[in-house]
């Protein structure tokens, strides 16, 4: 599999090169040269397959070459070492809980897969599995006999710097995945005062190889700074940079795994509507990739908060971002969703209209609070604000499509937004031990203006 830049000004590369670079030299996002199609028999086989087996079948076409089959299986076994249950709320609505990983957020899947891939590229299978020992989850074992097969020709022994912007959960998942991994430095940019207290602790209490930069601006400022760093000539000459945002294919592609796993647990006789809380649109983009590979689905609903760039796009056909506004569902406070270009690309490749399969709706904080209350009072289900946005969007969709049945992606554990949930429900949330431990660790962070020059100078000083 080769990957090309959506800007079409850079040469095609393999999976390892695209993952290491994060973004193409021409600033475009990487996209697979073709979308593999799973045989219909694969859907029939799902009930007999385990999570890692499904993951390997789905991911192998994308990693073939740089990662041998047995190494991929060990990487997946190490990364996917937690449950992803489909929980029924009613006859027509089910919740895919993606928050059972070490940082209690859906981004654990992509971040853990990426960290183990980078470990493999840096030092072979032993390093890929060795990352497990620093993340706090059980490993899958396995031999280290591959020794980095297929990577020798592109060897680069300089320390790898993972540069990532986060609106909340990405940073914590990346920090956990790479925490203490030798030969890898992680620099995380997050908007000051716009992440939850638990999210900030997950960013700022890691080992010395993880640095948190508190940016006096918005997530879009953070994302802009990261993108500019990747095309900065001096940095490129002196540092080996990669991104861990969903712009990186190693973060984005594995997110399709849990859509297939949801279908593995689906027992209804109609294809589901997937309801996806959406900010940077990497999550729903992965689901749509799975759909183009053969995943049964009736529709995809992108649930947005007050940052409504994409809902307005579907209404007007024009991409006109407004400045990002802060909401209760902070991880979705994105004005310029990077991954939407990938969505348009995959539909163009299939010569079909995106609006036939995807719709989007914007909900404000008042509707979010109402949804949190209703989920608890009607179903006894405690949901974080992002999942609540999804529920509110589902209600709008269901009213117009009676008979539809939905799978709503729950992207974060409610404890990560404890103050909001406790204020709305007037209930104290129990604190998982892993979160309690964060409060006993020293906090390390550096405050920075939203300046590319400031980031460049910092990175050079660290190199």
* 99 within a domain of the structure (yes/no): no
| 182 within some domain | no
Residue 43 pLDDT = 95
Residue 157: band (very low, low, confident or very high) from pLDDT cuts 50, 70, 90: low
For residue 131, the model assigns a pLDDT of: 43
Q: Tell me, yes or no, whether 133 lies in a domain.
A: no
Distance from C-alpha of 175 to C-alpha of 159, rounded to nearest angstrom: 16
**What pLDDT score does 156 carry?**
58
Mean pLDDT score, 188-209: 92
Round to whole Å and give the CA distance between 178 and 125. Answer: 15
In the prediction, which pLDDT does 179 show? 85
Exposure letters 417-442 (e unless 16+ CB within 10 A, then b):
bbebbeebbeeebeeeeebeebeeee
Across the range 169-182, mean pLDDT stands at 84
pLDDT exceeds cutoff 60 at 191:
yes
* Residues 6+ away with beta carbon under 8 Å from 440: none
99 vs 413: CA distance, rounded Å: 5
Give the pLDDT of residue 235. Answer: 86
433 as an active site residue: the answer is no
User: How far, in Å, CA of 267 to CA of 270, rounded?
Assistant: 9
Residue 441 lies in a domain: no
Is residue 311 included in any domain, yes or no? Answer: yes
pLDDT digits (tens, 9 = 90+) for 217-229: 998 899 899 988 8
Give strand pairing partners of 4.
31
Confidence check: pLDDT of 136 > 90: no
pLDDT digits (tens, 9 = 90+) for 13-72: 999 999 988 889 898 999 999 999 999 999 999 999 999 999 999 999 999 999 999 999
Mean pLDDT confidence for 399-424: 95
CATH classification at residue 316 = 3.40.50.1100
Residue with tokens 């430095």: 185
Nearest to 387 by CA among 341, 420, 355: 420
Task: Please give the tally of structural domains in the chain.
Answer: 1
Are the CB atoms for 331 and 324 separated by under 8 Å? no
340 within 8 A of 361, measured Cβ to Cβ: no
The dihedral built from the CA positions of residue 414, 95, 243 and 63, taken in this order, carries a sign that is positive
pLDDT digits (tens, 9 = 90+) for 69-107: 999 999 999 999 999 999 999 999 999 999 999 999 999
Whole-number pLDDT of residue 138: 29
- Domain of residue 362 covers 253-429
CA distance linking residue 31 with residue 204, whole number of Å: 32
Arithmetic mean of pLDDT over the chain = 89
Q: Is 243 exposed, middle or buried (0-12, 13-18, 19+ CB in 10 A)?
A: buried
User: Do residues 223 and 248 lie in contact, with contact meaning Cβ atoms separated by under 8 Å?
Assistant: no
73, 107, 194, 227: the active-site residue: 107
Name residues whose C-beta falls within 8 Å of residue 208's C-beta, 6 or more positions apart in sequence: none
Structure tokens at 218: 């918005």
C-alpha to C-alpha distance for 396 and 235, rounded to whole angstroms: 47
Q: Tell me, what's the pLDDT at 155?
A: 52
The better pLDDT of the pair 420, 127 is held by: 420
CA end-to-end distance (rounded Å), the chain: 32
Q: Which of 61-65, 164-168, 193-197, 456-460 has the lowest mean pLDDT?
A: 164-168
Q: Look at residue 195 and tell me if it is in a domain.
A: no
Q: Which residue has the tokens 């040269």?
A: 33
- Residue 2: per-residue pLDDT: 98
Is residue 193's pLDDT more than 60?
yes
Query: How confident is the model at residue 431, as a pLDDT?
Result: 86
Task: Give tens-digit pLDDT for 204-217.
Answer: 998 889 999 999 99
pLDDT of residue 124: 52
Three-state DSSP class for residue 424: helix
Name which of 367, 361, 234, 388 is nearest 299 in CA terms: 361
Is residue 139 over pLDDT 60? no
In a domain, 147, yes or no: no
- With respect to residue 347, please indicate whether it lies within any of the assigned structural domains: yes
């Amino acid at each position: 599999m080769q990957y090309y830049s959506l800007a079409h000004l850079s040469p095609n590369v393999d999976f390892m090169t695209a993952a290491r670079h994060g973004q193409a030299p021409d600033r475009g996002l990487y996209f697979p040269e073709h979308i593999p199609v799973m045989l219909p028999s694969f859907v029939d086989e799902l009930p007999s397959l385990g999570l890692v087996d499904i993951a390997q079948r789905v991911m192998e076409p994308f990693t073939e070459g740089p990662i041998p089959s047995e190494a991929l299986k060990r990487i997946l076994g190490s990364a996917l070492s937690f449950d992803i249950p489909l929980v029924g709320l009613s006859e027509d609505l089910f919740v895919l809980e993606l928050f059972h990983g070490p940082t209690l957020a859906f981004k654990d899947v992509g971040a853990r897969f990426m960290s183990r891939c980078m470990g493999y590229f840096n030092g072979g299978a032993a390093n890929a599995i060795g990352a497990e020992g620093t993340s706090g989850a059980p490993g899958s074992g396995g031999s280290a006999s591959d020794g980095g097969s297929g990577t020798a020709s592109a060897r680069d022994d300089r320390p790898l710097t993972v540069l990532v912007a986060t609106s909340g959960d990405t940073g914590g998942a990346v920090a956990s995945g790479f925490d203490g991994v030798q030969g890898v430095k992680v620099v995380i940019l997050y908007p000051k005062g716009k992440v939850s207290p638990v999210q900030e602790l997950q960013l700022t209490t890691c080992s010395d190889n993880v640095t948190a930069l508190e940016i006096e601006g918005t997530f879009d400022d953070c994302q802009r700074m990261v993108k500019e760093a990747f095309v900065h000539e001096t940095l490129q000459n002196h540092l080996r940079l990669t991104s861990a945002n969903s712009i990186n294919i190693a973060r984005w592609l594995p997110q399709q795994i849990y859509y297939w796993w949801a279908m593995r647990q689906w027992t209804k006789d109609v294809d589901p509507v997937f309801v996806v809380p959406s900010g940077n649109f990497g999550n729903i983009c992965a689901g749509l990739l799975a759909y183009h590979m053969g995943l049964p689905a009736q529709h995809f609903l992108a649930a947005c908060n007050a940052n409504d760039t994409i809902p307005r796009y579907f209404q007007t056909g024009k991409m006109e971002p407004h400045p990002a506004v802060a909401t209760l569902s902070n991880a979705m406070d994105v004005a310029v969703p990077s991954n939407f270009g990938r969505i348009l690309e995959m539909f163009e490749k299939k010569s079909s209209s995106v609006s036939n399969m995807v719709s989007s709706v914007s909900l404000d904080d008042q509707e979010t609070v109402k949804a949190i209350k209703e989920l608890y009072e009607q179903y006894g289900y405690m949901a974080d604000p992002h999942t609540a946005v999804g529920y509110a969007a589902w209600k709008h969709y269901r009213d117009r499509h009676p008979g539809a049945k939905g799978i709503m992606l729950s992207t974060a554990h409610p404890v990560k937004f404890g103050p909001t949930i406790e204020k709305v429900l007037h209930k104290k949330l129990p604190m998982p031990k892993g979160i309690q431990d964060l409060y006993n660790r020293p906090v390390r962070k550096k405050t920075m203006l939203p300046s590319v020059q400031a980031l460049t100078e910092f990175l050079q000083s660290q190199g």
